Amino acid sequence: MPRAPRRGASTRRQPLTRERIADAAIELIEREGLDEFSTRKLGAELGCEAMSIYHHFPSKGDLLDAIASRLLGKVDLSSAAEEGVVPELRLVRVIRSYREVARTHPRSFPLLALRRLNSVEAMTFLEAFFGILRDAGFDPERSTDVFRLLGHWATGAALSELAARSQVAHPTRTVPASEVDPDRYPLTREATPWLLASHFDATFEFGLRSVLDAVRRARGK
Amino acid sequence: MPRAPRRGASTRRQPLTRERIADAAIELIEREGLDEFSTRKLGAELGCEAMSIYHHFPSKGDLLDAIASRLLGKVDLSSAAEEGVVPELRLVRVIRSYREVARTHPRSFPLLALRRLNSVEAMTFLEAFFGILRDAGFDPERSTDVFRLLGHWATGAALSELAARSQVAHPTRTVPASEVDPDRYPLTREATPWLLASHFDATFEFGLRSVLDAVRRARGK
DNA sequence: ACCTGAACACCGTTCAAGT
DNA sequence: ACCTGAACACCGTTCAAGT
């Protein structure tokens, strides 16, 4: 006995695509966290079976890679090629946009830091960045070192901010006060006001100034 | 009918402790990867039921936090308080040891970057670092900014190296050559030799010189 | 206090089958 | 070509019970 075609629950019969799956996955991760993310929940979200996803991605790992690339694609590169804008300012704009992507996607952003990216988005990002550095007068070798210096710092800063805000993993119990007698750590206690979230912006600006300073000096050599 | 006490399979009846569990977990993660790690496998490793672990940690998340702290505890801080050694050199030694921990624990190290740490190990590390910076003449506010600048860069550098070596996640398929026509990314192609793993050490040294340079200049102000 | 083992509500992924 | 759904071999965690 043939069953009547079910509809209603999901009238939207958009065909599944890699992009649509990855975007829905990002949304789901931001809502429920990386630990809670599963292909089965994603299927429910998309109105299809979990297994349909595997027709577009060979494994969950590949889907996570695609998510990372998609996040990198959200970084605003429009300022990278802007005529008449001094290279350093273009660098700053790209870096600030990178930080903004981290802040608006706190729970999926770690994927960007942990997974090796070889995608169109990654290549586009690299090419734009190298373009700025060439305009700033760097040869390919120095461009690579500078790219990595800025990238490493920016990634570390973003992750640290997310971790400190407990936006990455579900927060677990804090250390019992008895274990961390503050008298044993006087220097840390003294620095507490500047370790708080309220100081993140100032710390970011100090870091940005510092690495840009180093970049400026590297150009002179 | 009482069963005879089983022994043999696990003669070693050391009592379970948080430290023993965390160390076995690190070993297991390094051998099989973070994705493959489970409390059940860890139980088998320790010769006990998976549930025994939950008597020492309220959840798997708490165990992961403990692993992160344990890793941080492996950083060699002996040079931090060394009399007669110039502060900058002490900073360098701690940073190099941090990198070394990442390289010797590639698959568990990401936990250190992603999880918020408030443990004895974290406090000890902070206090040692702040000690060096005080000796270098920094006040608490600048110490915090400098600590974060160095920490963010070092963490980003370590993660990037691990990701590039595909030591973090199980490697997935590479991008099809058709998608990344190298002619569309001439600057990136030109920089390829310096983006390879063989250049990691040089990039690390450039980065270290750069951030230390920035720190030295921050002290003057 | 510390550990067990059955049970529950999940996972990612395979496979043969449907359209 | 694209999607389904049952099935397999797993998970983390609960709970009542053992010593």
pLDDT digits (tens, 9 = 90+) for A20-48: 999 999 999 999 999 999 999 999 999 99
Q: Are B148 and A203 in contact (CB under 8 A)?
A: yes
- Counting residues of chain A whose pLDDT is more than 90, the rounded percentage is 81
Q: Count CA within 13 A, CB hemisphere, residue A50.
A: 8
pLDDT digits (tens, 9 = 90+) for A123-132: 999 999 999 9
Q: Does position A139 have pLDDT exceeding 70, yes or no?
A: yes
- Cβ contact, residue pair A203, B175, below 8 Å: no
Question: pLDDT category, B124, cuts 50, 70, 90?
Answer: very high
Structure confidence at residue B221 (pLDDT): 64
More confident residue, B6 or A24: A24
> What residues in B contact A118, CB-CB < 8 Å?
174-175, 180
Query: Which helix (H) or strand (E) covers residue B153, if one does?
Result: helix B140-164
pLDDT digits (tens, 9 = 90+) for B194-203: 999 999 999 9
* Average pLDDT estimate for B67-79: 98
Structure confidence at residue A179 (pLDDT): 63
Nucleotide nearest to B40 (CA to C1'): D11
Q: Are B78 and B97 in contact (CB under 8 A)?
A: no
Cα(A155)–Cα(A163) distance, rounded to whole angstroms? 12
Structure confidence at residue B15 (pLDDT): 85
Q: Which ranges constitute the DSSP H helices of chain A?
A: 18-32, 39-46, 50-53, 60-73, 87-104, 109-114, 120-135, 140-164, 186-195, 200-219
Cα(B110)–Cα(A110) distance, rounded to whole angstroms? 10
Residue nearest to nucleotide C2 (CA to C1'): B55
Q: Which residues contact A42 (CB under 8 A, 6 or more apart)?
A: A21, A24, A25, A28, A50, A53
Question: pLDDT category, A181, cuts 50, 70, 90?
Answer: confident
Q: Does position B3 have pLDDT exceeding 90, yes or no?
A: no
Nucleotides of C under 7 A from a protein CB: 2-6, 10-15, 19
* Average pLDDT estimate for A52-78: 97
Structure confidence at residue A14 (pLDDT): 75
Q: Does position A176 have pLDDT exceeding 90, yes or no?
A: no
Cα(A57)–Cα(A21) distance, rounded to whole angstroms? 9
Structure confidence at residue B172 (pLDDT): 60
* Average pLDDT estimate for B163-167: 81
Rg, chain A, Cα only: 22
Nearest Cα residue in chain B from A215:
B210
Q: Does position A113 have pLDDT exceeding 80, yes or no?
A: yes
Largest CA distance in chain B: 80
Backbone angles phi, psi at B137, to 5 degrees: 100, 15
Query: Which helix (H) or strand (E) covers residue A165, if one does?
Result: none
pLDDT digits (tens, 9 = 90+) for B7-18: 333 334 578 999
Spatial distance from the CA of B40 to the C1' of C2 (Å): 18
Q: Which residues contact A92 (CB under 8 A, 6 or more apart)?
A: A208, A212
Backbone angles phi, psi at B59, to 5 degrees: -160, 170
Structure confidence at residue A4 (pLDDT): 32
Q: Does position B98 have pLDDT exceeding 90, yes or no?
A: yes
Alpha-carbon dihedral angle through residues B65, B96, A205, B126, given to the nearest 10 degrees: 50
Mean of pLDDT over chain A: 90
* Average pLDDT estimate for B124-136: 98
* Average pLDDT estimate for B163-186: 70
* C-alpha torsion sign, points B121, B122, B123, B128: positive
- Cβ contact, residue pair B169, A203, below 8 Å: no
Residues near chain D (nucleic strand), Cβ < 7 A? Answer: A 15-16, 43, 48-49, 51-52, 54-56; B 2, 37-41, 50-51, 54, 59-61
Question: pLDDT category, A166, cuts 50, 70, 90?
Answer: confident
- Cβ contact, residue pair A194, B159, below 8 Å: no
> Lowest-confidence range among B7-11, B24-28, B91-95?
B7-11
Structure confidence at residue A5 (pLDDT): 35
Q: DSSP letter string over A170-197?
A: PP-PPPPGGGG-GGG-HHHHHHHHHHSG
Structure confidence at residue A169 (pLDDT): 65
* Average pLDDT estimate for A169-185: 65
Q: Are B17 and B25 in contact (CB under 8 A)?
A: no
Structure confidence at residue B1 (pLDDT): 29
Q: Does position B174 have pLDDT exceeding 70, yes or no?
A: no
Number of helices (H), then strands (E), in chain B: 10, 0
Q: Are B154 and B129 in contact (CB under 8 A)?
A: no
| pTM of structure | 0.91
Nearest Cα residue in chain B from A169:
B115
pLDDT digits (tens, 9 = 90+) for B35-64: 999 999 999 999 999 999 999 999 999 999
Mean of pLDDT over chain B: 90
Cα(A93)–Cα(A107) distance, rounded to whole angstroms? 23
Question: pLDDT category, A183, cuts 50, 70, 90?
Answer: confident
Structure confidence at residue B13 (pLDDT): 59
Q: Which two tokens stand for residue A87?
A: 């290279």
Q: Does position A168 have pLDDT exceeding 90, yes or no?
A: no
Identity of the residue in B62, B188, B217 whose CB atom sits nearest the CB atom of A213: B217
Structure confidence at residue A215 (pLDDT): 98
Structure confidence at residue B111 (pLDDT): 97
